[in-house]
Each structure stands twice: as structure tokens, then as C-alpha cells.
Amino acid sequence: MNQHALLATLAALVLLPAQAADMNKVLRVALNAPETGFDPAKVSDLYSSTVTENIFDPLVTYDYLARPAKLIPNTVSALPTISADGKVYTFRLRPGIHFATDPAFKGKKRELTAADYAYSIKRHLDPSIHSPWSFLVDGRFVGGNELVKAAGKGALNYDAPLAGIKVLDRYTLQLTLTATNFNYLPILAMPAFGAVAREVIEAHRDNTNAHPVGTGPYLLKEWKPGSRIVLEANPGFRKVVFNATPGNDPVDKAVVQALQGKTLPQLGRIEISVIEEEQPLWLSFLNRQLDVSGIPQAALQSALVIDPKNPLKVRLAEQYARQGIQLQRQLLPEVTFHFFNMQDPVVGGDSKDKIALRRAIAMSFPVSEAIASIRRGQAVPMNYIVPPGVAGHNPAFRGAPKFDPAAANALLDRFGYRVGSDGYRTRPDGKPLAIELACGTSALDKQWNEYWQKTFDTLKIRLGFRQGKWNELSKANHQGKLQMWGMAWGADYPDGENFMQLLYGRNAGDSNAADFKNADYDRLFEASLKLPHGSQRNQLYDAMNKIAVAQQPWIFGDIRMRSTLAHSYVKGLKLHPLLNTSWRYLDLQK
């Protein structure tokens, strides 16, 4: 399956800082939405992570070129040893890695140690920090619960010994999990688990978001919240030289040709603007005010020549190809879906008539038509809870019911949802049937809503829209006040567990937004946790998917194909499914 996979070794030849970045090379990129800050324990949005990824170093990271994504050591000398029971992870740090300079270090060079990782991971447990990622660490480490309990609502006692997160020596970190888990390593590759220095955090206690000091290739030079972020190459960054052997993939060849033997990073400065509107984003890219950019939905038509018979087969439009603009594409490791509130008296419940109602709606929603029209074909229908590119995906599984509104209508008839005198269906008990769909307020939401309106019109069911800000809807859903809502879930780490847990009963009201509670599913999920990625676990996932398809708590949506453009002078670009950016690998040759 991965014949083209190859290895790019990031050789740490000399552990002395070697500034290779050319400060005159400035990369200009844009974020589509405002970021919030740069404290890895406080931010969870994609846009902030995009930046923190370049400032902080997690223990392990992903190989730039290998597909599917492959974990490689980052600040450790080798991947950790994992005990046979899948509970104890032991990391061995490379000595000689230093934090970027900061006044908190009082002018001394500050080396990265195992204690820094212990501190950084413990911060996610700290009740006073309210880490958005605490669900990844809560109850996972031996002794963690007790320590958290002792802290109450105050700050965690970082100095108290914690069996689960142990610093064996200056460079050795040992994590002990409470339960078998062979898939914990990808979590530690997230930017949220990059190392911070305790001195820095304590020196800027009130404003850690604005003072990210890490060991990564870049440091924060300027921050105008919601508008502009400037990163500069970290002059103290350890020497990393790009070294890889390309396979057959032309993109890989180009990357290797551009980077082979070069010290990373090459770019001295990265200027990030926040551009929320599509028109200025697209026009700025075309005008070379941006070097790399996604293609806004509205520009897909003019930027890509799409084969109508096979819409995923595209090439760059002639006028752009002539300018040497590069096009790269990849399926995002995410799923979009609409869920039903399974505790709702109308759409929830597991009696057959309720399932029939949900199924009928699912059968009538024209996913493919919406993909054709809204996504311009640049998406595939979702058929499995775990998306492609994430461990545990089953490409052969067809989870979405066949689009057949006529049969859906007949199905509703069979279960007593009769069409009343006003032309709309009633519930089997004769009460009026009206369903409310929660949605956002953007133009894109509106396009989707038009399809929902159409769906419900064909089913002759009254539909209401409940528009609101995300947090309002989230709160309403939390209180069980919503009936239907659409969501997108992106992989935090490339493991199926990150997706399968979305329907786990114990996560109901939390990440299980549908409040789906199914004992079979829960049992299977708990069993899957103990297994490493492999066919054994895949069978469990298949069974769980079948339950989800049969019970229909979700209507499967689509999985987007990301198209990224870069001007001809941008070298070394290859999209990565899990790394948010490839800035440290890029070079500009104008």
C-alpha cells in the first residue's frame, strides 16, 4: 500500500546552533480565521496551532514526505520504548537542545530537559489552566486523578511526585498510563504537547498566550491579535539538515532537489495575515501578495479544470499553470456530518419509527449533489466514521444509505408519518411534526441550508432553522435543546480512536454531541482501546460503524479535498495530512 513511502531523515549532525535562515526570505501566508494565542496548553483552534507548531517541539513528530504519515523522533534520540502491556512509554531526549532566548532565562542558555516535558504535559492537567486538551490526559496517567483532586480548583502542584509522569534523569522521561494504550504516541506529537519552559510560563503567568518560548525553528516576533503574526527564524535552533531519498513521486523529487543537504529552516521570516473574506484572499494570492494559499470555494471554478466524470481528477487552469503556480491536493483527515439529538423525543430514541425517520432524512439528503454544487466536486462522500488517512479507516465500507427520497417517503408512510391536510407529515401519534436544524450564519451555511430545505420539502416535513453563533448552539446542544446540527471533526491525531470516541456513551454531552448511548457500541469501543492499530481493531471498528449506520445517529456528510496553491518560486512544498504547516521545509527562489 505504501510503495511510494520514503524516509526523510532529519539528521542532527551537529548540535550547535547554525543559523541558515536567510532573513531576506519572507514567506507571506494567510489564516482564514483569527487565532487566539500561542500557549499550547490554552489554545485548541487550528489557526493558533498552525503557529505553535513552528515554535514548540513535541517529543515526536511526523516525517515530512512519508505517506501515510509516519512518526519519527523529534527531540528524542529514538522513538520511545513501549512496555509490552502498552502502559509504560520511555523517552530519551537528545542533549544539547536549547530554548530560544528569553529574559526569563536571565541571559543563560537554557537546555531542554525531560522535566520540561513533564511540566508541559502536567499543565494540561492543571485545573487552573482549563486546558482544552485535558480530555487527552485526564485519568490517563497513574496518579494523575489524585493529583488533580488535590489541586481542587486551584493550581496543580507541579513539584509533587507523579507516578505517571516521571523524570528518570535529566534526559529521560517515563510516562505510565493507567490503561493499555498502544496508540498514545500520536497524541504526544500534537503541537499542544510541545515543551515550554517553566520559568517563562511563570514569568508571564498572566499572559502566556503572547509569550511563546520554545525550542522550535521559529519564534514569535510580532503579534497583532486577529490581524497579523510575524515569525522569525530562531537563531538558536539546533542544526537540522534535510536528507532524504526520493521515491517516484515527482513532488517528493522536487522537494528533495530543493532541500537536500540544506540546513532548516531556510526562510528567515514568515508573515501571517488573517484574511476572512474570500475575495481579498484569492486576489492577494493572484497578485503575489501571498506566496501560498488555499483555493477559496468561489475560486475553484476558475482555478481548476475539473473532469466532470471524475471530479477529483483536476489540473490547474491554463492561465495559472503558465505562471508556474503549483497545485497540491490532499484529502483532509476529517469528517463532516449532521447528528440527531438521540435524547430528543421527536428525532431521538431507538424505536423503529424513530430510526425510520432518521433514515428517511439521511436517504433524502443529496450529499453528492451538494458536493457537486457547493464543493465543486472537491470532496468525497463520507462512508465510515474514521476518515481516510487515519489509522482504522475502511475504504471499502459504504455507510451512507443510498440516496432515494422516493423510498424514504414510502418508508415514512409505512411508519405512520402521514401527510396531513396542510401537506406536511404528522408524527405517528398524530401530533404535528416539525424539525429544527441548528446552523451557523455564514454564506456557506446558507448554501447547505438550501439543500436541507429541499430535503425536508421532498419529505414533506416542516423544517425550522436555528441560526446562531457556535458557542450559543454548543450551549443549547449541551442542554439538549437542539434536534439536529452539523459538525466537522478534524483529526487531532491520526488514530481512529479520535473519531470512534465521538459516539462513545461515556462521552455523551461532551464530544459525543449526539448523546448516542448504545451498550454494544460502548463495549466494542472499550475493547478497541486495548488494541494496537491492526486488523483486529479494524473488525471492531467495522462492527461499531454498522451500529452507527443501523441506528443512524448521524447523517454522513463529506470529506473535503484540500487544494493548495503556491507560486513557482516556492520550493520544497508538500502537503502533510497532520502537520498544519510545512514552513520549516520551504524555500523561496525568486
Partner 1 sequence: MLAYIVRRVWQMVPTLFGVMLLLFVLFNWVGGDPSYILAGKNLSAEALAGIRQQLGLDLPLPQQFLIFMRQVLTLDFGTSWSTQQPVSALLHSRIGPSLLLTGSILLLGTVLAIAIAALVAYLRGSVTDRLVTLIATCAMSVSALVYIIAGQYWLAFKGGWFPIMGWSDSTLDNLLHYLPLPLLLGVIVGLAPDIRFYRSCFVEELGHDYVRTARAKGLSEPVIMLKHVLRNAMIPVVTSLMMSLPYLMMGAMLLETFFGIPGMGKEVVMAVERSDFPVIKAITIYIALATMLFNLLTDIVYKLIDPRVQLH
Partner 2 sequence: MPHTSTTPPAAQHHHNSLTRIGWRRLRRDRIGFSALCIVGAYLLLALAAWSGLVASHWQDEVAHPYAPPTLFAGAAPHHVELNAADIDAADRRATSAAALDSSGATGLSASEDPLAADLAAAQQQSAQYRSTEQARADSLPLGADQRGRDVLQKLLQGSATSLQVGIAGALLALTIGTVLGALSGYFGGLLDDLLMWGYSVFTSVPDMLLLLAFAAVSGRGIGTVVLVMAFTSWTGTFRLMRAEFLKHKGREYVRAADAIGAGHGRRMFHHILPNVSHLLLVQFSMLTVALIKYEAILSFLGFGVGVTQVSWGAMLAEAPAELLQGYWWQMLAVTLCMSLLVTAFSLLSDSLRDALDPKVK
Interaction with partner 2 in 405-424: which residues (CB under 8 A)?
Answer: 405-411, 413-415
Output the smallest distance, CB 480 to partner 1, in A. Answer: 13
- Measured distance between the N- and C-terminal CA atoms of the chain, rounded to whole angstroms: 37
In this complex, which beta carbon is closest to partner 1, that of residue 225 or of residue 534? 225
Total residues contacting partner 2 (rule CB under 8 A)? 76
Output the smallest distance, CB 194 to partner 1, in A. Answer: 17
CA–CA gap between residue 95 and residue 74 (Å, rounded): 12
Q: Which does 545 bind (CB under 5 to 8 A by kind): partner 2, partner 1, none?
A: partner 2
Handedness of CA 245, 247, 250, 252 (dihedral sign): negative
Helix/strand/coil (H/E/C) assignment for every residue in 200-223: HHHHCHHHHHHCCCCCCCEEEEEE
Q: Work out whether 520 is an interface residue with partner 1 (CB under 8 A).
A: no
Q: Which does 309 bind (CB under 5 to 8 A by kind): partner 2, partner 1, none?
A: partner 2
Q: Work out whether 36 is an interface residue with partner 1 (CB under 8 A).
A: yes
Interface residue with partner 2 among 18, 278, 507, 562 (CB under 8 A) is 278
**Which region among 200-208, 297-305, 412-420, 449-457 touches partner 1 (by CB under 8 A)?**
200-208
Output the smallest distance, CB 546 to partner 2, in A. Answer: 5
What phi, psi does 520 have (nearest 5°)? -60, -45
Interface residue with partner 2 among 243, 539, 564, 580 (CB under 8 A) is 539
Helix residue ranges per DSSP H, 166-305: 185-188, 198-203, 250-259, 278-286, 300-303
Q: Work out whether 505 is an interface residue with partner 1 (CB under 8 A).
A: no
Within positions 128 to 157, which residues make up the interface with partner 1, using CB under 8 A?
Answer: 128, 130-135, 153
**Which region among 9-17, 177-185, 299-307, 484-492 touches partner 2 (by CB under 8 A)?**
299-307
In this complex, which beta carbon is closest to partner 2, that of residue 468 or of residue 532? 468
Cβ-contact 262, 19 below 8 angstroms = no
Interface residue with partner 1 among 24, 257, 279, 589 (CB under 8 A) is 279
Helix/strand/coil (H/E/C) assignment for every residue in 530-584: CCCCCHHHHHHHHHHHHHHHHHCCEEECEEEEEEEEECCCEECCCCCCCCCCCHH
Interface residue with partner 1 among 3, 84, 159, 207 (CB under 8 A) is 207
Q: Work out whether 557 is an interface residue with partner 2 (CB under 8 A).
A: no
The contact mask relative to partner 1 for 437-476 (x = CB under 8 A, - = no) is: --------------------------------xxxx-xx-
Q: Work out whether 545 is an interface residue with partner 2 (CB under 8 A).
A: yes
What phi, psi does 22 have (nearest 5°)? -95, 115
- HSE (side-chain half, CA atoms, 13 Å) at 493: 21
Burial class (CB in 10 A: 0-12, 13-18, 19+), 261: exposed
Q: Work out whether 443 is an interface residue with partner 2 (CB under 8 A).
A: yes
Cβ-contact 424, 432 below 8 angstroms = yes
Q: Work out whether 380 is an interface residue with partner 2 (CB under 8 A).
A: yes
Output the smallest distance, CB 395 to partner 2, in A. Answer: 4
Q: Is 288 left (phi over 0), alpha (psi -120 to 50) or beta?
A: left
Q: Which amino acid is at 274?
A: V
What phi, psi does 318 have (nearest 5°)? -50, -50
Q: Work out whether 469 is an interface residue with partner 2 (CB under 8 A).
A: yes
Within positions 38 to 77, which residues make up the interface with partner 1, using CB under 8 A?
Answer: 39, 42-45
CA–CA gap between residue 189 and residue 136 (Å, rounded): 12
Output the smallest distance, CB 176 to partner 1, in A. Answer: 23
Whose grid coordinates read 513532488? 251
Q: Which amino acid is at 449?
A: N
Binding interface with partner 1 (CB under 8 A): 34, 36-37, 39, 42-45, 127-128, 130-135, 153, 206-210, 224-228, 273-277, 279-280, 283-284, 286-287, 289, 469-472, 474-475, 478, 492, 509-511
